[in-house]
Amino acid sequence: MEIRNQKLTGIEKLAILMNVLGKETSIEFMKEMKDSDLRSVLKVMGSMKKAPMTLINEVLTEFLEKLSEKDVMIFEENFTDPEMILKGLGEKRAHQIFGSMKNVNLLERKGMTVLETVDTKKLAEFLQNEHPQTIALVVVHMETEKQIKTLKSLPEAIRAEVVIRMANLVYVEPQKIAELDDFLKVELLGKNKGGGSQFGGVAAVADLINNLDQKTMNSIMSRMEDNDPELSDEIKLYMFSFADIIKIDVRGVQTILREIDNSKLTLALKSSTDELKEKIMSAMSERAAAMLKDDLEAMSPQKVSEVEKAQKEIVAVIQRLEKEGKLVISAGEDSELV
């Protein structure tokens, strides 16, 4: 559905905010939410296709105003100072987000640049004792992979707060620029989208859930099945897990095996069912299957996180093959080659 200008519920506003933030930061939101709220917001996100940019601006603006009221340590009295806004956001994004706010007269000034980090580990150590607002300013301008590593390195108690502030940066204090100058050099980019902002609907939610760890993913899907079976089934159509390889025919599995190395396959199969292992081996030569079996038996205990990582990497290969037209994955049926 398309969300139009109307009186939104709190859950609908949160769904819009999470869609705007993207899957990586939304995951941090989900970890902090109550089960009942999580079910509700996922249901809305699953049915949401797009929303007018004006409505998105209103949601972000309201969120910003509420934060500034609750925590006076976040924003100074002059948080709507035009120069600060333009320095923090850049001209395009400042006009996009604050164009509809009263008492905010944006001046024609240039944006701000700071140094880009070259060492994620060193940066993460530096940020440990920094104010969440400073951390947000740094993280929001990183590449996705570095964002994930940095957020994971932060104390769990402040992760959600940092993510929230990432969506609501208005200005950066001059002294903070000096502190970060040795670590960062990024350019603040603005995005000016006209019309509506396209979300992914069910597909986006499925992609988000696919990126969660297995325990969290299972918990969410179990609750969704109880709360909204129809939506749960629809989401599953867009999801593909390592265990779903059991549904792929022998030729399809052979295609997949040609794209991955044996060490990664062995690690990924460490926690798999005997049925899945047999399915994989049935697509191999007798000798290769025997070697895989020996490797699995000789393998020492592995971290669950490492096994899941290997499984996700193989799933990524399968999804790539599907996009390239080399494999067709049909829900509930064996996959077939084309």
The DSSP element (H or E) to which 51 belongs, if any, is: strand 50-52
Same domain, yes or no: 251 and 217: no
What is the per-residue pLDDT across 254-275, written as a single tens digit (0 to 9) for each?
Answer: 999 999 999 999 999 988 899 9
- Residue 305 domain-assigned (yes or no): yes
Same domain, 104 and 40: no
Write down the pLDDT at residue 204.
Answer: 63
| 219, 206: one domain | yes
- Residues 84 and 136 placed together within one structural domain of the fold: yes
Provide the token pair at 4.
Answer: 């139009």
Same domain, 215 and 280: no
DSSP string computed for 98-114:
HTT-TT---------EE
pLDDT at residue 105 in the model: 39
Helix, coil or strand: residue 149:
helix
pLDDT band at 199 (very low <50, low <70, confident <90, very high): very low
Comparison of pLDDT for 81 and 326, the residue scoring more: 326
Q: Is residue 333 part of a domain?
A: no
Whether the per-residue pLDDT at 42 is higher than 50: the answer is yes
Instruction: Look at residue 328 and tell me if it is in a domain.
Output: no
Q: Where are the alpha helices (DSSP H) in 48-143?
A: 53-70, 82-89, 91-98, 120-127, 132-139
> What is the greatest pairwise CA distance in the chain?
75
Are 266 and 299 contacting, i.e. CB atoms less than 8 angstroms apart? Answer: yes
Asked whether residue 332 is assigned to any structural domain, the reply reads no
Which of the residue ranges 141-150, 181-190, 196-205 has the most confident prediction, judged by mean pLDDT? 141-150
Band of pLDDT at residue 336, cut at 50, 70 and 90: very low
What local confidence, expressed as pLDDT, does residue 327 receive?
83
Kindly state the tokens that stand for 279.
């399915």
Q: Please enumerate in sequence order all residues whose Cβ is within 8 A of that of 225, keeping only pairs 6 or more positions apart, or say none.
A: 232
Percent of the chain scoring above 70 in pLDDT: 60
Residues 188 and 83 reside in one and the same domain: yes
Position 281 in a domain = yes
Average pLDDT over residues 32-44: 82
Average pLDDT, the chain: 70
224, 42 Cβ separation under 8 angstroms: yes
Residue 300 lies in a domain: yes
Residue where a domain stops, chosen among 186, 218, 239: 239
Domain count, the chain: 3
Share of the chain above pLDDT 90, in %: 13
Annotate 69-104 with b (16+ C-beta within 10 A) or e (fewer): eeeeebbeeeebebebbbbbbbbebbbbbbeebeeb
Residue 338 within a domain: no
CATH for 170: 1.10.220.30
Distance in angstroms (rounded) separating the CA atoms of residues 175 and 177: 5
Q: Which of 161, 194, 227 is the last residue of a domain?
A: 194
Same domain, 212 and 122: no
Residue 56 within a domain: no
**177 and 204, same domain (yes or no):** no
pLDDT tens-place string over residues 212-259: 777 777 777 787 788 888 877 777 766 778 888 998 889 999 999 999
- Asked if 214 and 251 sit in the same domain, the reply is no
Q: Which residue, 191, 187, 193, 163, is CA-closest to 87?
A: 187
Asked if 83 and 161 sit in the same domain, the reply is: yes
Distance, CA of 151 to CA of 166 (rounded, Å): 12
Angstrom distance (rounded) from CA 123 to CA 117: 7
Domain final residue, candidates 172, 207, 239: 239
Looking at the fold, whether 218 and 284 belong to one and the same domain comes out as no
Among 144-153, 194-203, 279-288, 308-317, the range scoring the smallest mean pLDDT is: 194-203
**Per-residue buried b or exposed e for 129-145, using 16+ beta carbons within 10 Å of the residue's own CB:** ebbbbbbbbbbbbbeee
Cβ(123)–Cβ(183) under 8 Å? yes
pLDDT of residue 4: 54
**Joined tokens for residue 138:** 């740094």
User: Is the pLDDT at 188 greater than 50, yes or no?
Assistant: no
Q: Do 105 and 95 touch, CB atoms closer than 8 A?
A: no
Residue 85 shares a structural domain with residue 186: yes
**pLDDT (mean) for 284-304:** 91
Range of the domain at 23: 1-49+199-239
